[in-house]
Structure 1
Amino acid sequence: MMETFAVDPEIFVQLFVALTLGALLGFERLLAGKEAGMRTFGLVAVGSCLFIIIGEIVMQENYQMFNVDPLRMASSVVTGIGFIGAGLIIFQHELKGLTTAAALWVASAIGVAVGFKMYIVALFAAFLTLFVCVGLWFFERYLEKKVSNK
């Protein structure tokens, strides 16, 4: 039987790390003036992390009663994020927000990584995502100017 009050303190660390990394990505999107910001990205990362944590707890404590696989939970998270991403892309009947939707998808994956205690992978993925959203944005503007000057 699952103990209601016996909680591994690392779960709180996992949720906080997921929130922090997700909110960091959302902060960049907020600065870029996009539809989804710190709250959306933070909630997606925390929710994704929480689904993995719940799956692992249920699997460990009730493995004989339930056929729960945290990897299947992760694939379900990806499906759910697809709906949110589609809502971001098709905003007011215009096709825009692809980068924000993709970044939100990565925020979900970061939450999953944190849920599996893959902190270094999650941190590096957050760094790469920020590089893509900021660094490559400047590089794209540079290339656009070069091409338009020809």
Structure 2
Amino acid sequence: MFLNSNDWLQIIFRLTLAMLVGCLIGFDRQKGGRPAGMRTFMLVSLGSALVVMIPLQAEGDSPFATTNALSRTIQGVTTGVGFLGAGLILQQSGKSGVPKVRGLTTAASVWLAAALGAAIGCGLWQMGFVGAVLTLITLSGTKQVRKITKVRTGARSRDRSNDAERVE
């Protein structure tokens, strides 16, 4: 099957935008020193867009077959990237014996980058763009709110309360 020039432009636009969205999210994670950075996020988002575009570009006899294939493809991408994200999650025991779980936000961000790439790959670039903006607001905005309100969560707050008890 040969593609016309409009198809090529759409393919280039979708894949480039998916990669850019992954880059933006990855940059945010990389500047915070997280285990997955720009390249990882770019590849996950680009790969997701590419994989979901395959059933869209493949010729099928019935529209139902293409929709069914697309649905299964998106499901496979979601599951596969979930395993990748699981590899980013670490559990360590702290000094106080309380387990610390690290990498949850990065794992969720990788999974979300795949979803954004899949949306863009399906031609839903507006949804992908809005999702990327909301993701960046969530990742950077919650840090600012936490700094302003001095809210501590999880094991960090327990560790600090234990430190305060020891001092008194």
TM norm. shorter chain > 0.5: yes
SS at match of 1:36: coil
Cα displacement (A) at 1:137: 1.3
Match of residue 129, structure 1, among 119, 129, 135: 135
The C-alpha deviation readout for 1:34-62, integer Å capped at 9, x for no partner, is 0101100000000110111001122xx13
Q: 5+ residue gaps in structure 1?
A: none
The C-alpha deviation readout for 1:13-70, integer Å capped at 9, x for no partner, is 1000000000110000011110101100000000110111001122xx1336xx4521
CA distance, structure 2, for counterparts of residue 14 and residue 145 of structure 1: 39
2:164 maps to which residue?
none
What one-letter code is carried by the residue in structure 1 that aligns with 2:128?
A
SS at match of 1:46: helix
2:61 maps to which residue?
63
Cα displacement (A) at 1:141: 2.9
Q: Which runs of 4+ in 1 moved over 6 A?
A: 91-94
Number of residue pairs matched? 142
What one-letter code is carried by the residue in structure 1 that aligns with 2:61?
Y
1:114 aligns with 2:120: yes
CA distance, structure 1, for counterparts of residue 110 and residue 151 of structure 2: 29
When normalised by structure 2's length, the TM-score is 0.76
Match of residue 3, structure 2, among 3, 6, 26: 6
User: Which stretch of structure 1 is more off in the superposition, 37-46 or 6-15?
Assistant: 6-15
When normalised by structure 1's length, the TM-score is 0.84
What one-letter code is carried by the residue in structure 1 that aligns with 2:21?
L
* CA separation of 1:44 and 1:144: change in aligned 2, threshold 3 A: same
Residue identity over aligned pairs, in percent, reads 38
1:82 aligns with 2:79: no
